[in-house]
Amino acid sequence: MRPLAQWPPGPRRGITGVLTDIDDTLTTEGAITPEALAALGALREAGLHLIPITGRPAGWSEPFALAWPVDAIVAENGAVALRRTASGALHKTYQQDEATRAANFARMQQVLARIEQEVPGARRAQDSAGRETDIAIDHSEFTRLPQARIEQVVALMRSEGMNATVSSIHVNGWWGEHHKLSGARWIVRQLLGRDIDAELERWVYVGDSTNDELMFRHFPHSVGVANIRRFESRLAHPPRWITPGERGAGFTELARALLDGRAAA
CATH of 98-174, one of 3.40.50.800, 3.90.1170.50, 3.90.1070.10, 2.40.30.20: 3.90.1070.10
User: What does DSSP say about strands 163-166 and 135-138: parallel, antiparallel, or unpaired?
Assistant: unpaired
Residue 165: exposure state from Cβ atoms within 10 A (0-12, 13-18, ≥19): buried
Contact 26, 45 (CB under 8 A): no
Residue 246 has pLDDT above 70, yes or no: yes
Model confidence band, residue 110 (pLDDT cutoffs 50, 70, 90):
very high
d(CA 213, CA 242): 14
Residue 85 has pLDDT above 70, yes or no: yes
Contact 182, 53 (CB under 8 A): no
Which architecture characterizes domain 2-94+178-263 according to CATH? 3-Layer(aba) Sandwich (3.40)
Contact 41, 255 (CB under 8 A): no
Q: pLDDT by residue (tens digit) across 36-68?
A: 999 999 999 999 999 999 999 999 999 999 999
pLDDT over 90 percentage in the chain: 97
Residue 265 has pLDDT above 60, yes or no: no
The per-residue pLDDT of the chain, averaged, comes to 96
Q: pLDDT by residue (tens digit) across 158-180?
A: 999 999 999 999 999 999 999 99
Residue 197 has pLDDT above 80, yes or no: yes
Residue 264 has pLDDT above 70, yes or no: no
User: What confidence score (pLDDT) does residue 14 get?
Assistant: 94
d(CA 106, CA 92): 21
User: What confidence score (pLDDT) does residue 242 get?
Assistant: 98
Per DSSP, 220 falls in state S
The amino acid that residue 45 corresponds to is E
Residue 191 neighbours by CB under 8 Å, 6+ apart: 71, 72, 83
User: What confidence score (pLDDT) does residue 235 get?
Assistant: 95
User: What does DSSP say about strands 17-20 and 49-52: parallel, antiparallel, or unpaired?
Assistant: parallel
Contact 199, 94 (CB under 8 A): no
Phi-psi bin for 88: left (phi > 0), alpha (psi -120 to 50), beta?
Answer: left
d(CA 173, CA 258): 34
Model confidence band, residue 262 (pLDDT cutoffs 50, 70, 90):
confident
User: Of 245, 228, 251, 256, nearest to 1 (Cα)?
Assistant: 228
CA separation (Å) from 59 to 2, 54, 55, 76? 36, 12, 12, 10
Q: pLDDT by residue (tens digit) across 17-30?
A: 999 999 999 999 99
Instruction: Taking residues 247-265, report their average pLDDT.
Output: 89
User: What confidence score (pLDDT) does residue 263 get?
Assistant: 73
Domain ranges of the chain: 2-94+178-263, 98-174
